[in-house]
Amino acid sequence: MSNIGVMGDPDERGHFGDFGGRFVPEALMPACLELEEAFRDAWADPSFINEYRTTLSQFVGRPTPVTPLPRLSEKLGLRLYAKREDLAHTGSHKINNVVGQTLLTRRMGKTRIIAETGAGQHGVATATGAARLGLACTVFMGEVDTVRQELNVFRMELLGARVVPVTSGSRTLKDAVNEAMREWVTCVADTHYCIGSVMGPHPFPWMVREFQSIIGIEAAAQLEELGAGTPDLVVACVGGGSNAAGIFAGFANSDARLIGVEAAGGAAVASGSPGVLHGMRSLLLQDEFGQIEEAHSMSAGLDYPGIGPEHAYLADSGRAEYFAVGDEEVLDAFSLLSESEGIIPALETAHALAWITREVGALIPRGATVLLNLSGRGDKDVAQVRQLLKGES
Amino acid sequence: MKSLEVTLRAVRENGRKALVPYFVAGATPDWVRHVEAAALGGADAIEIGIPFSDPMMDGVVIQEAGLRALQAGTTFESIGRQLTSIDTEVPLIAMTYYNIFLHYGLARSAGRLHEFGLSGAIVPDLSLEESDEWRTSCGEHDIATIFLVAPSTPAERIKEVARRSEGFLYASARMAVTGASSDQGDGARVVANVREASDLPVYVGIGITTPEQAATTAAVSDGVIVGSALVKVILNGASVHDVENFVRSFRDAIDTTFEV
């Protein structure tokens, strides 16, 4: 069973409205074309889909549940549900995409995989997927992030990956992407670049969304089973936007309002303008001369100055709405979910909850049914939050 | 035919191999004097790099030069202002990433390039498929749009790219970003593939580090592009005179191999 078409395909050159496309050096064009062909072929092949689904169930632990959040619901005056991507293997939704891309890597006859990572979630997921299939793996990580997320560096190394600290530019996620692209040029014949979000040149934004659409497809069915019906709102955090794209895909054709929540310091929809970076035309934080600005967020996973092109399109068309929240609200939401429901969320995820708590009675009518995409678990952030909370008191 | 292509075809018809040095505008305060020195040293065209925050196709040397230029406040407009003082007849070609022009406005950018005295533009992250609007804008201001081909580019695609490239075709000698290299790379093969598809002049760049490499590469192409090797000596504090000598060393090596 193919999932193509759930949220609408881009045109043949990868455009979602005015956004997307393929802006890469000529050396990488053949690889992008090859990948597009391989993905189209695989995604129409029942044996590939079957292997992808089987791996998700046997290795990742899917389906992840939808959990009603009764105490928080009562506090907020909502009917609140969480899609538990934090329970997926490696602790976040990132693994769904990695399973798809690693299987595709093997299918293309490539033996090595490279990836960028910010917080380390995608790096850990990629190292995990590579280990499972016996692929060599190199992960590029901004030097700043290797310090912020030191344990994830060690995790990747335990999984057999090589981690390359990136010392160019701002030494964070956007520079890790630059460095991975530079590396890919040199080794494209035997190496696949496993981009971790719905960004980059066509077919990545589309392909990654398809590999993540399992989140929304499962959640829609699970809410039905729980008798919750179609939610009034579906809320997800957005850096590049893969967990949001994945959950939106299950509700794009429903009446649910789709809400993406960005970090205030990296809000490409609220503060960005159209531009080209990392192979795509999208909304970007940039100065008056078109130089890309650095995002600033306490959450490394949202520290990206752009957004996936399909989100730019969904914002433009009005089908999805995007809002920003600040670090303080996020910390409150982080504690709130931990204390009320016994779930410590990733700081990224806490952004989505922060918006919900802020907007109850305002943008969210009381009594509304709200589905939160609980994109990742907070284990990786506990040390950082401890520092931040100490700093506050 | 764009002016740049008329000039560069004439270089070839005169039996001369083209030498195209690359500079990062604004990397040093006297960069315009460096450009003039390169012309005196025997350049046939000169690439003017406009710095971008995220130079995906560039290695560490050009990254560093771009960073210095940006930190010094270099912008598209400031480069234009500084170029008004330049004293050379050698054609100047802009090289930068697409977002710089897109953000400034494509038609406006092409117009400004012309006003600044530039006659061509290389935009390495602008694929042929996305280039219609840019090519149209450049067409209105006599700016030649120069495209790249790489060792990975299949024959059919080379034909497509060559058909739309103007001035010359930039053949990447290797699967790599800009930066020094000790071997000859795949330049000869890429050029041979282009020859089957097009009579456009073909210049080879990426990793041309020494005068000897340049001479060997010129033997199988219409010209060579020298970027990181030159930028590196500039970052190390080269004087105007040093730059002229550096370029002349490449000129001499090429010309000694090909008596004009």
Task: Could you list the beta-strand ranges (E) of A118-272.
Answer: 136-142, 162-166, 191-193, 233-237, 257-263
pLDDT band with cut points at 50, 70 and 90 for residue A135: very high
Using the beta-carbon criterion (under 8 Å), do B100 and A290 form an inter-chain contact? yes
Residue A220, both tokens: 């829609």
Nearest chain B residue to A177, by CA: B56
If one compares B86 and A119, the residue with the highest pLDDT of the two is: B86
- CB within 8 Å of chain A, chain B residues 107-166: 124-130, 147-154, 157, 161
Q: Give the mean pLDDT per block of 10 residues along chain B (260 residues).
A: 98 97 97 98 98 96 97 97 94 98 98 98 97 98 98 95 97 92 89 95 96 96 97 97 98 85
- The whole-angstrom separation of Cα B205 and Cα B179 is 10
Using the beta-carbon criterion (under 8 Å), do A277 and B99 form an inter-chain contact? yes
Per-residue pLDDT for A352 more than 80?
yes
Instruction: Tell me what pLDDT residue A3 has.
Output: 40
Chain A contact set for B52 (CB, 8 A): 290-291
pLDDT band with cut points at 50, 70 and 90 for residue A2: very low
Instruction: Tell me what pLDDT residue A391 has.
Output: 75
Chain A contact set for B53 (CB, 8 A): 169, 291-292
How crowded is residue B29: how many other Cβ atoms within 10 Å of its Cβ? 9
Using the beta-carbon criterion (under 8 Å), do A291 and B52 form an inter-chain contact? yes
Contact A179, A143 (CB under 8 A): no
For B76, which of A21, A187, A289 is closest by C-beta distance? A289
Q: Is A375 labeled as catalytic in the residue annotation?
A: yes
Q: Is A213 labeled as catalytic in the residue annotation?
A: no
Share of chain A above pLDDT 90, in %: 88
Q: Which of A36, A92, A94, A213 is catalytic?
A: A94
Instruction: Tell me what pLDDT residue B258 has.
Output: 72
Q: Helix, strand or coil for residue B196?
A: helix
For A15-56+94-208, CATH number? 3.40.50.1100
Instruction: Tell me what pLDDT residue B19 has.
Output: 98
Q: Which of B47, B166, B186, B222 is catalytic?
A: B47
Instruction: Write down all domains in chain B, each with its CATH number in brackets.
Output: 3-257 (3.20.20.70)
Q: Which residue has the tokens 């120069």?
A: B146
ipTM: 0.95
Cβ–Cβ contact A160 with B under 8 A: no
Please tell me the distance in Å from A276's CA to the nearest CA on chain B. Answer: 5
Per-residue pLDDT for A4 more than 70?
no
pLDDT band with cut points at 50, 70 and 90 for residue A347: very high
Contact A115, A196 (CB under 8 A): yes
Q: How many Cβ contacts (< 8 angstroms) between chains A and B? A: 113
Question: Which CATH architecture group holds A63-92+214-392?
Answer: 3-Layer(aba) Sandwich (3.40)
Domain boundaries, chain A: 15-56+94-208, 63-92+214-392
For range A54-64, the mean pLDDT? 98
Using the beta-carbon criterion (under 8 Å), do B99 and A169 form an inter-chain contact? no
Q: Is B156 labeled as catalytic in the residue annotation?
A: no
- The whole-angstrom separation of Cα A96 and Cα A129 is 10
**Which residue of A29, A32, A164 is the best one to mutate when testing the B interface, meaning the one whose CB has the most B CBs within 10 A?**
A29
Phi, psi of B45 (to 5 degrees): -155, 160
Q: Burial, A278: exposed, middle or buried (Cβ in 10 Å; 0-12, 13-18, 19+)?
A: buried
Residues in Cβ contact with A390 at an 8 Å cutoff, skipping those fewer than 6 apart: none
Per-residue pLDDT for A6 more than 50?
no
Q: Which of A116, A179, A262, A359 is catalytic?
A: A116
